[in-house]
Amino acid sequence: MVVVTYTRTECGVDFKNHDITLAVLNMEDIIHGHPKNFQINLGFQYEEDYLYCEDMRVCDLLNLKDVSSPVYVYSKKQIEANINKYKTAMKNSGRNIQLSYSVKANMNPSILELMRNHGLFLTLVSGHELRLALDLGQEPGKIVFNGNGKMNWEVDLACRSGVLLNVDSIFNMRQTIDVCKAGGYVANVLFRINPDINPNVHGYVSTGQEGSKFGISADELEEVLEMATTFEKIRVVGLHCHIGSTIREPEKFKQSTRVLVDLFNKLRSRFPDLYVLNLGGGLSIPYKSQISLPQKCKQVVQCEIDKNDDQEIARLYDNLLTSKLTLSTFLEAIKPLPRGKEIFLKLQEQVPSECLVPEPNDLLSSISDIIPPEAKVILEPGRSLVGNSAILLSRVLGTKLSKKKNFIVIDGAMTEVIRPCLYGAYHHVELAEPSRAAHLQNASDQSKLVWDVVGPVCESADFIGKDRLLFTPHEGCSIAVFDTGAYCSSMGSNYNMRVRPAELLVDGEKVKVIRRSETFEDMMKLYTNYYCFSQ
Ligand SMILES: *Cc1c(COP(=O)(O)O)cnc(C)c1O
């Protein structure tokens, strides 16, 4: 194994020319460059600067037959750990809670199989997701079908199969009644309520405020209830809300749960079959778990350590500075220590909130007291079950240095990871192997520089990360975009005629191709006037 030790004492770039968020800048990293040796989560870890997914060194995966870059790499262990965190929290809550996986986060059938094997329900948002769930053998009673605009065939399939159907509006109620009349079905209905709560997230993933296109507003509710009462084939079984995604405040779930529970209590005498409270999904994941400790925070920690001579905190802090701990792990580790809590609280104000986010346990503790014990609660997370279970593994095509900006151009792009361009979202990016460029004589190649990591798509919105502090990579160097298990592959596109990449599932030392890469022929076969296929 090549272990590269970086020795470099001056930085090779004029930082004044860069518009840098100082939070990512860390002089310590620039000067020492300790090889990374840390556990990111149960699925991914660094050993001597090489990134591993479970037992597999990820750069080696690109040499596998039929695998090319970019490729999504999933850890089975991490998905199962995410499920188990919810299950433990649900068990401890003392309430009757069912976990339902929100399929739109990632619909790979192998991932759905994993969810089904763990007894999860599936929450769906389209007729084709419904077909897929039924094809995989999911029982209709364990399916929630949702949507603010359903086509007649979708409502028909949902009612015919007997799934739990979320009704979203007056017109959706009328549509459901019409479909039931025509087909002679009985529909098991949940009302999706708009509780008018601001979840404090990007506007594009806020879904339960006044003015949102989702859910039944307070003004419309009575009319929908009236319609349901007058048609006997509508069986009202539950209430539903989903206020948004990437939520970082458990308090928001508490607020929406209160609204739903109040309504539940009010409506129970009117609708005797009412027993389900579907509280939606939306818990975030710590997208910034691996960022460097901001410079101003270092003084805080050092000062506390000097003042109290706390050996344990000093040891943990040294591990953070020498790349043996991620920032999130450091914060979690100091929190329970006698003197650590104080430092934790001070730092918490200064590090970005995406660094540490609430866990399923925090979510459940905030709501379990207000849930009626007789209700059956459904939680339907997507992101927090799969988001941190995957990386997009790419290769560096080349680097560009200029006065204003430095670019690392990789073969992954917005077509595989659209979240930065769509929501200004942060995805952590790191080299997946030691850079061989550090061996070069050019001094500037041996220090970390500030880069924009971008793809090859012809669109300036095609960036993966901005102002990232990274060593200069060699051409062909493997590079990982983290936390791409949710809303990346499922939101992928063929823009620029790029083929959608393969997906690999790592299970210990085993690697399974769970989706092959698309080909040029796959893309062209739908076009009628293309000579290869039109005869
Ligand atoms: C998207 C969605 C979810 C899942 O949201 P996450 O942020 O991925 O947890 C849950 N319920 C409904 C109705 C959704 O549309």
Kindly give the distance from the C-alpha atom of residue 31 to the centroid of ligand 1, in angstroms, as a whole number.
43
3-state secondary structure string, 61-100? HCCCCCCCCCEEEEEHHHHHHHHHHHHHHHHHCCCEEEEE
pLDDT tens, 186-215? 999 999 999 999 999 999 999 998 989 999
Kindly give the distance from the C-alpha atom of residue 384 to the centroid of ligand 1, in angstroms, as a whole number.
10
By most ligand atoms within 8 Å of CB, the mutation choice from 104, 241, 287 for ligand 1 is: 104
Ligand 1 interacting residues, C-beta cut-off 6 A: 102, 104-105, 123, 125, 146, 242, 245, 280-283, 380-384, 486
pLDDT exceeds cutoff 80 at 535: no
Kindly give the distance from the C-alpha atom of residue 280 to the centroid of ligand 1, in angstroms, as a whole number.
6
Q: Which of 458, 477, 488, 532 is catalytic?
A: 458
458 among known catalytic residues: yes
Average pLDDT over residues 121-149: 98
Name the more confident of 27 and 170.
Answer: 170
pLDDT tens, 314-326? 999 999 999 999 9
Output Rg (C-alpha) for the chain, integer angstroms. Answer: 25
Average pLDDT over residues 394-415: 96
pLDDT tens, 456-487? 999 999 999 999 999 999 999 999 999 999 99
Average pLDDT over residues 138-157: 98
Identify the structural domains of the chain with CATH numbers, from first to last.
4-69+387-524 (2.40.37.10), 78-285+359-381 (3.20.20.10), 295-351 (no CATH)
Please tell me the distance from the alpha carbon of residue 150 to that of residue 127, in angstroms, as a whole number: 8
pLDDT tens, 157-176? 999 999 999 999 999 999 99
pLDDT exceeds cutoff 70 at 15: no
pLDDT of residue 532: 65
How does DSSP assign 177-239, residue by residue? HHHHHHHT--EEEEEEB------SS-GGGB-SSTT-SSSB-HHHHHHHHHHHHH-TTEEEEEE
Average pLDDT over residues 391-415: 97
pLDDT of residue 348: 87
pLDDT of residue 245: 94
Q: Which atom of ligand 1 is nearest to the CA of 105?
A: 8
Name the more confident of 27 and 492.
Answer: 492
Give the pLDDT band of residue 446 (cuts 50, 70, 90): low
**104-108, 246-250, 434-438 — which is least confidently predicted?**
434-438
Average pLDDT over residues 95-116: 98
CA-CA distances (angstroms) from residue 103 to 139, 440, 451? 15, 47, 34
Kindly give the distance from the C-alpha atom of residue 102 to the centroid of ligand 1, in angstroms, as a whole number.
6
Please tell me the distance from the alpha carbon of residue 282 to that of residue 380, in angstroms, as a whole number: 8
pLDDT exceeds cutoff 70 at 343: yes
pLDDT of residue 27: 45
pLDDT of residue 529: 83
* Residues 409/456, Cβ–Cβ less than 8 Å: yes
Dihedral of the CA atoms 515, 520, 523, 527 (nearest 10)?
-160
In the sheet where 56-57 sits, what is the strand order?
Answer: 44-47, 50-53, 56-57
By most ligand atoms within 8 Å of CB, the mutation choice from 115, 123, 191, 389 for ligand 1 is: 123
